[in-house]
Structure 1
């Protein structure tokens, strides 16, 4: 049966259209991403480690996660600037080496202040990998294949995440220190792969490409003044606040409800598994559909998917249903946002744009765990999960308002900037003039 599937012309064509024609260096980056996420145990299990293993309060676990997010927020912008100035490869290798060392140290430190300080360093180094990775993909891959490449990289992230989350729950039963050390080791392997196999890809001015030298320089302030882009960053922040609950307050609530680390690993691993299975079929289904409609649906599914956790009690199956619903929201949201950011980011400022976009996720990792931890501790799980539904609804309304505003601007100026423009599938979407995890 497997042989017949492989030999099926339609399946071969789909596979070829999905993975074919991409540069060899991209696949080394893809392998590096996969290995890194296969070992990404610490962030997923940090809240559970602090509360169940160390005995700290949910609010302290939220504070540590927020300090991790503070480091991520600082590095998002800083790494974006460094990516454009000193190059993609040195920024990425330095970030991965720093992540490996700080993650290993986090497994050994004791005391609330020390744990919080090292968690900040882990966040600082870990998130610095995002802007150079996105820029490398944009540099290596032709414009017509770029969004497909981003989707494949995102796919690798979720393959690794799904497997690591399930495995980490089993490993944690034998001691959390092993999680920290394995995470550090896989990150170190990734740094070596990047250093050996990925060349510096930063575009350089040359006689063959004189336009590179003539490109205007885009300052960080200019990026912040790009109103349509910053509106998307703000709405992404709201959605990202919801996703942060999946690795922080969800773990704490499930632990308090009697769910074991193994069960939590399997439940949260469902997120990555569903993305791996459903991403390509759903993104093909999304082709030609309204961006606004897809973004609204994704916000509502995400918000009220988390809202379903209010009904879960001590049932791992109901928690799994909740994860399944908000995962569909994630699948709908990510490809559309990738296309929008690709349209808005100029070639010569890819690092800065990717850094500022990454800032929305970093700020969410700073604000989300702290806010969620406080709500969980002082208002209870029902209030927390219903608040998630409300945030998802607000984000959906924000996309409606943005679509109307950009639509009106497009009618006045003749520019095609509507959020509601038809969305293309990642396998076929072509980047517009100058154009990410």
Structure 2
């Protein structure tokens, strides 16, 4: 047990644990977004179409927040970005709890989306800044575990608090966000690498365009988008398949809860499982399991069948978390880590749009063959990671060699 603890959690810097704790507290309290549509229809008495537009405004704000957070993390620093996002979220939550006019609610919902999405790139960039390269896989595995643990707790709290009082729900969310803000203010120093007065010849510069035109990176992001589209099936198209089989919505809740529990229990053992694997190999295995898990939905017509399928795709998702983050860290120039993170984070809202838009049409016309197509998509992504792995590893090796022998330009 001691060896497992040491290999899983030991050796990480103290600053990492403050960041980790802040993410966990914030995620546990971050449940307003989970019940936003319910709040709008039951407490503010908005019609379903209007509520949908307001929730959509939250999503659009999230896209803007990801990009803004990445740019700010590189220009202003990780700490100022995190503080602005969290203190800003507290103010927006208070305003949203008492806002009455629909335009004001929509604007505040969009701002909340911005504030909720801004910290992501800064948090991850800070983790890369303070964690040695050999420990990053474990660090990001623990981050993924904390995120899912927080989500599981938040889901339970959201339902319970919504039944008592929406005002209390907003208050608890704001309090948790404020606690994270104060923790960052108290314990988290700035981690952004200091730029030398005399630039190193080989050191890259640029902005979002640099990340978007980085061929090796965008190939990786493209394959990650395929995986995100697969994973998003569980929250968009899977409920339709379950109810289509004559099973109740409670079955869907059981499947989602089971998957979350599986991650909370099993994620801590992933580093030992994949510790000796090459990152591309781990991502290949992950995408194969994602594909097989969702393909198995075509055969599922009972609770046990859906739980078995969920087991396979959840293990695939668990395996992907550490190598995904490590690859992004390897390919990101130190001065552009926030921007590179923001480009990667865009795969999630993109998948949230593509999966239901294309999946609904596919399920209607293809039926169970939709899930076979999902399986094929996973195999395509897996093959892609195998194909790009050698070139990506050469790129990383060349970058490390260049940094090792780089000579400052005389000024």
**Normalised by the size of structure 2, how large is the TM-score?**
0.79
Q: 1:283 to 1:142 in 2, by over 3 A?
A: closer
- 1:300 touches 1:329 (CA, 8 Å); kept in 2? yes
Structure 1: which 5+ residue stretches go unaligned? Answer: 1-10, 422-430
- 1:205 touches 1:212 (CA, 8 Å); kept in 2? no
Listed one character per residue, the Cα deviations across residues 49-95 of structure 1 (whole Å, up to 9, x for unaligned) are 678997966x8877655543332222222211111111111111111
- 1:305 touches 1:324 (CA, 8 Å); kept in 2? yes
Listed one character per residue, the Cα deviations across residues 280-332 of structure 1 (whole Å, up to 9, x for unaligned) are 3233222334655543442343345456567777x766655554332212112
Residue 159 of structure 1 and its aligned partner are, at CA, apart by 1.9
Q: State how far apart, in whole Å, the 2-side matches of 1:61 and 1:322 are.
A: 33
Match of 2:265 in 1: 277
Match of 2:315 in 1: 328
Q: State how far apart, in whole Å, the 2-side matches of 1:136 and 1:12 are.
A: 28
Q: State how far apart, in whole Å, the 1-side matches of 2:83 and 2:192 are.
A: 15
For residues 354-433 of structure 1, the aligned pairs below 5 Å read: 354-368=341-355, 375=361, 379=364, 383=367, 387=370, 390-401=373-384, 403-404=386-387, 407=390, 416=394
The answer to whether structure 1 residue 137 and structure 2 residue 127 are counterparts is yes
Q: 1:242 to 1:399 in 2, by over 3 A?
A: closer
The answer to whether structure 1 residue 348 and structure 2 residue 331 are counterparts is no
Listed one character per residue, the Cα deviations across residues 8-42 of structure 1 (whole Å, up to 9, x for unaligned) are xxx21221232222222221111111111112323
Q: 1:167 to 1:245 in 2, by over 3 A?
A: farther
Match of 2:139 in 1: 149
The answer to whether structure 1 residue 227 and structure 2 residue 215 are counterparts is yes
Q: State how far apart, in whole Å, the 1-side matches of 2:141 and 2:374 are.
A: 26
The answer to whether structure 1 residue 32 and structure 2 residue 22 are counterparts is yes
- 2:138 touches 2:322 (CA, 8 Å); kept in 1? no
Q: State how far apart, in whole Å, the 2-side matches of 1:94 and 1:300 are.
A: 40
Residue 400 of structure 1 and its aligned partner are, at CA, apart by 1.3
Match of 1:425 in 2: none
Match of 2:290 in 1: 302
Q: 1:119 to 1:390 in 2, by over 3 A?
A: farther
Structure 2: which 5+ residue stretches go unaligned? Answer: 404-411
Q: State how far apart, in whole Å, the 2-side matches of 1:245 and 1:183 are.
A: 28
Match of 2:158 in 1: 168
CA RMSD, Structure 1 to Structure 2 (Å): 4.0
Q: State how far apart, in whole Å, the 2-side matches of 1:195 and 1:56 are.
A: 40
Q: State how far apart, in whole Å, the 2-side matches of 1:183 and 1:375 are.
A: 37
Q: 1:157 to 1:356 in 2, by over 3 A?
A: same
Match of 2:409 in 1: none
Q: State how far apart, in whole Å, the 2-side matches of 1:392 and 1:68 are.
A: 31
Listed one character per residue, the Cα deviations across residues 114-165 of structure 1 (whole Å, up to 9, x for unaligned) are 6655443322221111111111112222333233222222222122122222
Q: 1:243 to 1:178 in 2, by over 3 A?
A: farther
- 1:71 touches 1:123 (CA, 8 Å); kept in 2? yes
| SS in structure 2 at match of 1:379 | helix
Alignment size in residue pairs: 398
Q: State how far apart, in whole Å, the 2-side matches of 1:115 and 1:388 are.
A: 38
Q: 1:158 to 1:370 in 2, by over 3 A?
A: same
**Normalised by the size of structure 1, how large is the TM-score?**
0.75
Match of 1:74 in 2: 64
Q: State how far apart, in whole Å, the 1-side matches of 2:125 and 2:22 are.
A: 15
For residues 256-275 of structure 1, the aligned pairs below 5 Å read: 258-259=248-249, 267-275=255-263
Q: State how far apart, in whole Å, the 2-side matches of 1:97 and 1:213 are.
A: 39
Q: State how far apart, in whole Å, the 2-side matches of 1:213 and 1:299 are.
A: 38
